[in-house]
Chain A
Amino acid sequence: MSSRIQTPDTSFALLHDAPELETRRSFLGKSGLVLSGAAIALLAGRDALAKGKKTAGSDVNVLNSALGAELEAIAAYQVGAESGLLQKPVLDLAVTFQGHHKAHADLLAQTVAKLGGKPVSAKEKYDFPVDTLKTQADVLRFAAMLEKGAVSAYLGAVPILDNRDLAKAAASILGDEAMHWAILRNALGEAPVPVAFMS
């Protein structure tokens, strides 16, 4: 039995637990992921759960639906990048943002698996409204809509995640999606940050 005191913050102790952290680092290293603060929080969260905290059933569902949305975003950016509609600086943005979504998805999938769930996989086919995507601006607007939706989705995930480390990680991803949204709006010539609060 672990002698660590069982508080919701137990997992933070892991941040200073070199051997365990090293294991994670090399594990993540193999999958080509850069270990971010969110990654540590997610993986640490699983340890807190493994120590007999609340069942993670609903947390798994929350993370899995976020994963589903991330996988779709990856596919959407792929469609955008291959559309031939995006010109150079914007194309680079799309590729960079797609990379972030891949990192989110990898981490969410690993976490769902660690929590004992079955990570959803990407659909074979996504029904994107390609017939309405005719110009670079159309693609940007579509991407902005997805990114804003992602902010709202994570905002809707944070308060219902039982595990506070997972909530923190979701908030960390939320911040990233919000930056994407602002930059896409800026690229469209719209006010990049039109509101003081997101909903």
Chain B
Amino acid sequence: MNAPMTDEERFRKENPMSEFLRMERMPHIWCPGCGIGTVVNSFAEALKKSDLDMDKVAVVSGIGCTGRVAGYMKFDSLHTTHGRAIPVATGLKLANPDMKVVVVSGDGDLTGIGGNHFIHAARRNMDITVICVNNFTYGMTGGQVTPTTPTKANASTTPYGNYEYPFSLPFLADACGATYVARWTSLHARNITNSISEALKHKGFSFIEVITPCTTLYARRNRLGDGLDALQYYHDDSEIVHGADTREVDIEFQSKIKMGTFVHREKPTYLEAVNTHYANVIGDEYQLYGKTTPEREAEKKAQEQANQGSK
């Protein structure tokens, strides 16, 4: 018995992902064996399992191969400028606190050009989820060195090998005040989903790093084979260490990868801190955003109708 083959249109429609993806935009631009799509799947699975109102989920990305995620996901979505996904997400969240705002972007975007925003959003415990697709390279621009490229690895702008010291992102996030920090590889799709589920439930700055193959550039330049070889490496050399001290989870070139949920703690979010503080200082009069004009008018109208009814 052979499985029924559907034509493209039917496939778009009947694929359960059509609830989460803009199927009309498929196929996507990512290379064969690139792990970004797996991360998107894992994210969609987490959304599927959550009891969130899908209309209240927003996806924000910066620029890069990973930056294209916002454009493929069927949510309120903003594809912004290089490095600026986090402050755009911050603005969206603060302007519309009912939203669940998720940033999906690359290592270069989030921790190179956007590093300043990353550390401050973590410091403020801004209530957003940040998923970093860490492929150790600037994929979209052709494989240049990033703040996470392991020392010794080859990149197009370190053609004789990298001599810089990389960031260990879980340590960075932890040190800056993130209240949820996890790391997986793109092979560990189920674990990514579980972590994103936890992050979506978590109040505060949650950060999930996913080590992901860039087959075309990073892997090729470093003679690491194809996507399957990358997943084999993740399979052979990864180790789950929940609660690991984030000072001890750095990744050297093709070294062991420690993964798991490293940080999970409670702390008032930025908005909670704002609201509690002003409720204390200002009192009952304080109400963030109060009512909008249409809301007030609708209320007034309802009030008038109620009054007329009672006459």
The answer to whether A and B assemble together is: no
